[in-house]
Structures are given as C-alpha cells and as structure tokens.
Amino acid sequence: MLLISQVGLAQGRVVTELAENWKFQKGKNDQAHQVNFNDKSWEKVTVPHDWAIYGPFDKEIDKQVVAIDQNNEKVATEKTGRTGALPYIGEAWYRNEFTLPHYKKGQKVLIVFEGAMSEPKVFVNGQKVGEWAYGYSYFYFDITDQVQEGKKNTLAVHLSNQGQSSRWYPGAGLYRKVQVIVKNQESIDQWGTFVTTPFISKDLAKVNIKTKASGNNVRLFTQIKDAQGNIVASDSSGQAFGKEFEQNIAVANPQLWSPEKPYLYTAVTRLYVGKTLKDEVTTRFGIREISYKPNVGFSLNGKVRKFKGVCLHHDLGPLGAAVNKAALRRQLRILKDMGCDAIRSSHNMPSIEQLELADEMGFMFLAESFDEWAKPKVKNGYNRFFEEYAEKDIINLVHATRNHPSIVMWSSGNEVPDQWGAEGVKRAKRLQDIFHREDPTRPVTVGMDQVKATMASGFGAIMDIPGLNYRTHLYEEAFATFPQGFILGSETASTVSSRGIYKFPVEKGIEKQYPDLQSSSYDLEYCSWSNLPEDDFVLQDDKPWVIGEFVWTGFDYLGEPTPYDDKWPSRSSYFGINDLAGLPKDRFYLYRSRWNTKEETLHILPHWNWEGREGQTTPVFVYTNYDSAELFINGKSQGIQKKHNATPQTRYRLMWLDVKYEPGTVKVVAFGKDGKPVAEREVKTAGKPYKLVLEADRKEISADGKDLSYVTVSVVDKEGNLCPTATNQLTFSVKGKGAYRAASNGDPTSLEQFHLPTMKLFSGKLVVLMQSTDQAGAMELTVKGKGLQPGQVTIQSRK
C-alpha cells in the first residue's frame, strides 16, 4: 500500500493510493463482497491492472457479424479482431484490505476511482456504497458511514464487461488509480478548485481561483508558487458565496505555458477555522490564453498556430489499458521528436497521468468524452447509459481535469449516429451547454463524419468548433456553410501501413489486402472514408481557416485492424504513425519532415534487401525537410528530385519511381536553399543475420516497482547493417533488481502473448520492456536467438 500524505496528520488530509495487496478473480460470485469471504486462492495483483492483456488471443472472443456504418459498409461480415481478440468479456472481482491509522471519528472518507472497466459496483465492509456505468469515467463515493476506525476495512469491486460494447480493445479491470482520501468535515471539496487566467499581459496576470469548501466559519488562504517553488503571490479570503470562495490573485511578470515552454505554477490552498489548519490542496496550473476567431483561427498566447496533433487510444500496446506513466512518457517523447504538439484522447476520457505529462512536456489536449450518445454504434455501448449518466460523466470529466493548462478544448462526441436529425442537434446543444456551464473558458467540438447531414440539420452550426473527421472534399463547402469561420481536422488521414513491409507495384490503393495481411509502408494505402496525409497537408498549408489536424493515429492500438478486420489473425490497427511497440514507421518521418521545424529529417525507404527483384522497378522515396536531393544506387546517380506542386505527393515527398533494384548501397544527398549539399544518408543491402544489438531508451530508472526501460532489439549482419527482413525467434532473461515485463514486435498479426519471455522479430526488430522492483540496483537483460550472437544491456534502478 502506497501512502501519499498531502497535508500531514495535524491537518487531517491523507491520500492513500491502493496499489498493492489486491486479490483478483474472474468470474461471478455473489458472496465476494462479504468481509469474511475466503479469497486466499485468488491471484495477487497490483493496480492499475488489466486482466485481459495476458491473453491468449482467440478468434472466437467477441466475434461480431456486423456492417460498420462508420466504415461505409453495407453488408455484414464476420469481424474477428475488432476488439483485439483478447479476453476482456466477463465478470470479475477485486478485493483489498486497508487500514486508516489517521482516521478519527467525525472525519470524512472518500474513495476515488479514475477508471474501472466497466460498470463497477463498489462495496466497503460488505455494504454497497455505489456504482457507476462508464468504464472511462472518474468517480468517487463518500464511504464515511462504512469505514471503521482503527480496524481493517474490506474493499470489494465488481466489474462486468459485455461483448459488443466497444469498437476497439477497451481493456478490463481496475486499469487506473484507486485512492482513499481522509479529511476533516471542514475541507475543500473533491475536485473543488478551479483555476483560470482571465487576464494576461507582459507585466501582470490575473489568476482567478474558485474553491468549493464545506464547513462553518472557514477562511481560505492561497499561495502561488513558481516552477522553482518560490512564493510569487498570495491571498486570503473569509467570504464564501454559498460554498464557493473566489480569489483574484495578481502574478507579476508571468511565465506563459506553451508547448515550446510548458511553464507551470502551483497554487497551495489552505482552509482554516480560526487559526487551525483544517485542509490543504495543491493545484498545478499554467498561465496561458486561448482564442478561436473567425477567419483567424486558433491562437495561443496571442500567436496564431495550427494543431499538429495525433489521436491516441488509451491502450499502451503490450501493457494493455493499465496506466503506466513511464510508458506514457515514452509515447510523448517520441511524438515530441516528430514535432507533434497536440493530442486528442479518442474516444474517451484521458488518464490523469497523461494530462500531467502533457502539462509538463508541452502538448495541447483535446479531451474527449464519448464515442456514442443515445443512438448505438455497438449493441452494448454507451447508448445504454447515455440518458442517465451523460451529464454526470461530463461534470466529473470537467471537474477532475479542468486545471490542466494542456486542455484547450473539449469534445462531447465522435462520429455519433445522432448527427442525423433534429434530436441530434438538441443533444449536441445540451451536452455543449453542460460543458459551458461547468467550464466557460474552453470551447467544445464533435468529430463529425456525416458532414452533409450536419450542414443540413444545423448540428455543425451550433458547435463552438466544427470538427471534420476526414471528408477533405467537403472542407470548402463546410467552411462556406458553417458560421464559425474556421474548420478543425478533428480526425485525419487513416493511412495504413506495416513497419518495414513494402508492396509492389507501388501505387495508391484503397483498403488493399495482401496474403500476408500486411499493408505497404510506401504510405500510399488508405481507407475508403479517408485519404493520404498530403491531402490534409495541403489544407493546413493553403487554407488559413483550417486550424489544424489530429491524425488517426499516433500509435497503433489493439483492435480495429482495418483493412483486415474480417481476416484472422489480424488483431491490432495499421493506422499508427508508430507501431504497437512504439517503433516509428516510415510515415513518422513524413510528418516529422513537416512538423519538426528545428531538426533535420532525411529518411530513405524502402530497405534494400530484395533478393529475387534484381532488375525490377523498386521505387525509392525520401522524406525530408529539404526541398531537393540526389539519389545514388551503388554510386550511380538516379537524378535530382525537387518538391513541386504537380500532385500532393510531389509537394511533400521526393520520389524516384523508376529505380531498378540491384544489391548494394542507396545514398541520398540533400541540398540546401543555395543548391549545395548539406546532408546525406545511406541504406545498404544486409548480409545474413549475425548478432543482436540492444539499445535502451533509458539506462537509469526509478526503483519504485513501476518504472520501465524500453529496450529495442535489432538483428544486424557482420558489418552492423540492420537485417530488415529477419524474423528470428528470440528469448529474454533478466537477472538482478528488475524484471521482464513484456515484449512487442509491432506485427498486427502476431498471436504471441506479450508477457511471455519469447517473441519473433518483425522486420528485424522488437522491443522488450524492463520493469524496476522496489529495490535499487542493476538489472541485466540478455536476449538470445538461434545462430545469433546474444545481446545484453544493463539498467540501473535508483531510489
């Protein structure tokens, strides 16, 4: 059990994270909530926990015979990997015992869940204290009447996941944090602080803090600290209006929050009765100004900019849905290197950890709520709960996350079937009004795919921000029709590819399928409802009223394996700019060449191991931020290519379409604006696999039992060239103060279980996750493969 004291014993607030000592069992049991229930045979787990990620993969799990409206399908077909083919369906119980040594009769006790998949029912000491419906929602219950002073308390949580309840892998279990909060009766309400910055100038910022608190004759004192912990402003208030205090505090010479400089302040709010401190809450926030104006677009801190964003599902590949801050941080590092500055949490509420990292690392956030409203997409989706829960879920989303400066807009829905007709317009307006009531400072969008319908009905006209999912051919008409004066690409591209896999002939293709169930990494294949990346680039660059885009998706995710969702064993997506292991696909460098304006990009594709293709046409593409380059095959020039506007592709890619394959060396030399060579890259034909090379993203991690080091394993020939077609079976072993956690090779058709210490290479690479224990020291990973020199790497974990 991890204890985190926010205030200390004298003041009364103690926050305890229930992470250890959980017992878990899948299955139905009517007695499992009872105090004296025998759970000794149950599995011991830590929370966050996803029971389904351990597999095995199974074609029969959640097999659906459906026509997916969002994919323009008219005929129902068998879908076998739509929700990842992992065993998330069913009922399960979690049990834990906790003591509250600081609790005294007369205090309040809350239990807070940041996500429980799904339909949780919560029991304390045998009594039901509450239930919720939505698996992505934050919620809490007051358990003051159920807890016992000075004794062990038994917590039991029942979860139930139905089939056909999701369009992707939802995960299963207590996959986000669980906390118990003990505080005084005179205290600040849960999520009761709201910090905004309504006035900002170079010399002064007005920080408005609204605080809801309980208790009579209470007084509030707030200090604002800068990033170094220095007190820069303070204010005291003894006057509450109802239960709410309002403070306006001046901060001199404010440092503004932005993706380029994510500066954070902290507000420390203390509640007193007389001179006695009763409660204290710390709130991190940023000083920043957002605006959305007709024909101007989006501005941050007075500067117009466009969102360079990606959509992210909530799973973390081989870790499943279980939240892990190190895994999230790695994702954001990769995206930052690409030049990405914005994230859309699609299509659900983000984790608190993800928002904390977005604040720290500098990402603007589109926080989404629902994938369904009243009309269903899947039989057992959120439509079942919409009328009863939608308002409560939005309130909790806003209250729990509104102080994160990274959030710059809300989304009330994604591609909801309610886009058609008058009822849908009313629902859109009602939900938007709830967001406005709870947070007047941020606008609201919906990801709209039925653009013609929303133009006809008025649905799109009432939204603060009209978000178009794809439909690039309708942007002009939508801009002319909608009154807002701008359009957001709320979901773009849906280009599909498999890392390191290339198909011939090289040509554009809609939902192309191949016998190996892979998609070509020439980045010319896309879905029937979507387009190639450059179609969006043109709109972003040429239309000032297009305010940015969120690409589908930043990383591959479990489930939804379009264009192979009717082909087994495909069980994860092909949409990612990075694969399921977090390894970049070629498309990463296409976006990087445009988005990362500070660093050089010069990337060659495909690989150059094509035995049997000698003399055949094998096009070479180069993704670069330079405008021109010369290509050489074994020293022979293939000519100079320059970016030009003949097609969207030639505007953003350099392409040599007539290259004939011969083994050897591919070299590209890029030219600067003055026509002189400025950079070069090479790709060589590799020989036979010879040895394994290991590269850790972090050589030092925290000895907290949660931290991770991601080790990329590559196979190379005797000269050190990557063997790009290698598929060797590898095994992993760990000794020392650490443990093997999981592996992933990014192959969307692989049925190997992530947690087992063996896996095949895919396109010459895979990634191994090393996890710390709670003991400091060294851990050593050894990777072996038949006929290969083994590889080793040592990671240090420190307290």
Which sequence positions are flagged as catalytic? 415, 491
Q: Cα dihedral sign for 206, 256, 463, 304?
A: positive
Other CB atoms within 10 A of residue 481 CB: 16
Instruction: Identify the residue whose tokens are 């000895």.
Output: 703
Largest CA distance in the chain: 88
Q: How many CB atoms lie within 10 A of CB 5?
A: 12
Those residues whose C-beta lies under 8 Å from the C-beta of residue 499, and which sit 6 or more positions away, are 521, 579, 583, 584, 585, 586, 746, 762, 763, 765
Within 362-474, residue ranges assigned H as helices are: 386-401, 421-438, 451-457, 459-462
How far apart (Å, rounded) are the C-alpha atoms in residues 329 and 77?
38
Cβ atoms within 10 Å of 384's Cβ, excluding its own? 17
Which residue, among 457, 446, 494, has the nearest Cα to 71 in the 3D structure? 494
Q: Please list the residues that pair with 716 across neighbouring strands.
A: 691, 722
Would you say the C-alpha torsion 744, 750, 754, 760 has a positive or negative sign? negative
Angle, helices 533-542 vs 586-595, to 10°: value is 10
- For residue 722, the cross-strand partners are 716
Per DSSP, helices labelled H in 299-373 are: 325-338, 352-361
Task: Name residues whose C-beta falls within 8 Å of residue 676's C-beta, 6 or more positions apart in sequence.
Answer: none
Pairing of strands 487-493, 546-552: parallel
**Antiparallel, parallel or unpaired: β 342-345 and 364-368:** parallel
Residue 420 identity: W
358 in helix, strand or coil? helix
Rounded distance between C-alpha atoms, residue 104 and residue 238, angstroms: 27
Q: Give the 3-state secondary structure of residue 390.
A: helix
Exposure letters 729-753 (e unless 16+ CB within 10 A, then b): ebebebebbbebbbbbbbbbbbebb
686, containing H or E segment:
none
For residue 93, list its beta bridge partners.
25, 158
C-alpha to C-alpha distance for 620 and 506, rounded to whole angstroms:
10
Please say whether the beta carbons of 147 and 124 come within 8 A. Answer: yes
